[in-house]
Structure 1
Amino acid sequence: MIEVKDLEKSFGGTPILKGITTTFENGKTSLVIGQSGSGKTVFLKCLLGLFTQDKGSITYDGNIYSQLNTDQKRDLRSKMGMVFQGSALFDSMTIAENVMFPLRMFTKQSKSEMQDRVDFVLKRVNLPDAHNKMPSEASGGMQKRVAIARAIVNNPKYLFCDEPNSGLDPKTAIVIDNLIQEITDEYNITTIINTHDMNSVMEIGEKIVFLKDGLKAWEGSKENIFITDNEVVTDFVYSSELFKKVRKMYLQERNT
């Protein structure tokens, strides 16, 4: 579990995060949504330890990050997996070498142990024969699956995803959503996803945190989001006619 309490962060005197408090549970996919400039990326980077908050605390399974020493922080980071928006694969490495990279950084496993683990995670993301391909030879959906394989190769306790469906067609996006949720369930990972994709919210939003202007404006589940009367949320979520129709249908079914 990750617990965030009264988190504040400013840059150049401009407040970006303004006292956010929330929790993210093990084994659940939690989505952070909001308009551009709402603070989502800064929030994610604080959770990853890339930014140091000005006030407040972030606690990982009882361990307050700011109170850890250098070795303890390194150990915690080894338990984090990250799927970047553009996949961020190394162009000069094969897919297998990309996936193996965190093992080289954070473990002392033998070459054969690392190869076995790479084999396992590539099979898990349905890429059993992609080892020797270069990233340039892989489609966008394949690259995302490679990024997920790399993120889970170290058996992380925490998985962070930044716009994992960016640039993907709707069908492939659903495949990636389902894969992330399956892995979260299987390994009891605490998964946090930054997204603009409302399809992801409706598919896998076990918990949703809505940020606006650096504040937590609302939180709840994908079911709650259909029935909330919070105007800030409804204006954002139901800006499209499609989701207005979906909400209307949901409410009608709920009332019958």
Structure 2
Amino acid sequence: MIEVKDLHKSFGGIEVLKGISTSFEKGKTNLIIGQSGSGKTVFLKCLLGLFNYEQGSILYEGKKFVNLTEDAKRDLRSEIGMVFQGSALFDSMTISENVMFPLKMFTKQSKSEMQDRVDFVLKRVNLGDDHNKMPSEASGGMQKRVAIARAIVNKPKYLFCDEPNSGLDPKTAMVIDNLIQEITEEYQMTTVINTHDMNSVMEIGHKIVFLKDGLKAWEGSRDTIFKTDNEAVTNFVYSSELFKKVRKMYIEEEQ
């Protein structure tokens, strides 16, 4: 579990995060949503330890990140998998070499042990026959699956995804959503996803944290988000006619 308590972060005297408190449980897909400028990316980078913050605390399994020794921080980072918005694959490496990279960085496994693990995770994301391809030979959906394989190759406790469906068509985005949910439940990871994709909210939003102007304006699940009367949420979620119809359907089912 990850706990966040009264988190504040400023840049140049301008407060971007204004006292956010929430928690993210293992085995669930936890989504952070909100409009551009709401603080989603800054929040995610604070969780990852990429940004320092002025006030509050972030606890991993009850331990404050800022209080950890450098060795303990390194150990924690080895337990974190990250799927970047643009996949961030190394162009000069094959798919297999990309996935093996975290094992070389954080473990002392033999080459054969690392290759066995790479083979396993590539098969898990349905890329078992694509070891020797270069990233340039892979479609956008394949690249995201490679990024997911690389993120889970080291058996992380925590998985962070930054806009994992960015640039993907709706069908491929659904495949990626389902894959992330499956591996989250399968490996009982604490998964945190930064997204603007309302289809992801509908499909895999076990817990949703809605940010607005640096504040947590609402939190709940994919079911409760369609029932809330929170004006900030409804203005964000029901900006399209499709989701207005979905909300109407949920309300009618409740009645």
Q: Moved runs in structure 1, 4+ residues, more than 2 A?
A: none
- State the Cα deviation string for residues 77-134 of structure 1 (Å, max 9, x = none): 0000000000000000000000000001100000000000000000000000110000
Residue 50 of structure 1 is matched in structure 2 by: 50
Show the counterpart of 1:60: 60
> How far apart in 1 are the matches of 2:172 and 2:192?
20
Partner SS state of residue 19, structure 2: strand
Separation of aligned partners in 2, 1:226 and 1:243: 9
- Determine helix, strand or coil for the equivalent of 1:211: strand
Supply the distance in 2 between the matched residues of 1:81 and 1:118 (Cα, whole angstroms). 15
Deviation at 1:253, TM superposition (A): 1.3
Q: CA deviation at 1:236?
A: 0.2
State the shift of 1:62 in Å: 1.4
Alignment match, 2:193: 193
Q: Distance in 1 between matches of 2:63 and 2:95?
A: 34
Residue-by-residue CA offset, 1:131-184 (whole Å, 9 max, x unaligned): 000000000000000000000000000000000000000000000000000000
CA distance in structure 1 between the partners assigned to 2:165 and 2:137 by the alignment = 19
| Residue 206 (structure 1) aligned with residue 188 (structure 2) | no
Match for 1:85: what amino acid?
Q
Aligned length: 255
Residue 35 (structure 1) aligned with residue 35 (structure 2): yes
1:100 equivalenced with 2:85 (yes/no): no
Aligned partners of 2:159, 2:143: CA distance in 1, in Å?
17
Q: Structure 1: where are the runs of 5+ without partners?
A: none
Q: Which amino acid aligns with 1:100?
A: M
Give the corresponding residue for 1:162.
162
TM-score for the superposition, normalised by structure 1:
0.99
Alignment partners' CA distance in 2, 1:8 and 1:157:
25
Alpha-carbon RMSD: 0.4
Whole-Å separation in 2 of the counterparts to 1:254 and 1:217: 24
CA distance in structure 2 between the aligned counterparts of 1:235 and 1:156, rounded to whole angstroms? 36
Distance in 2 (alpha carbons) for counterparts of 1:155 and 1:225 = 32
Could you tell me the TM-score, scaled by structure 2's length?
1.00
Counterpart for residue 14 of structure 2: 14
Tell me how far apart the structure 1 counterparts of residues 96 and 159 of structure 2 sit (CA, whole Å).
20
Question: Percent of pairs identical after alignment?
Answer: 82
**Partner amino acid, structure 2, of 1:198:** M
Alignment of 1:210-221 (within 5 A): 210-221=210-221
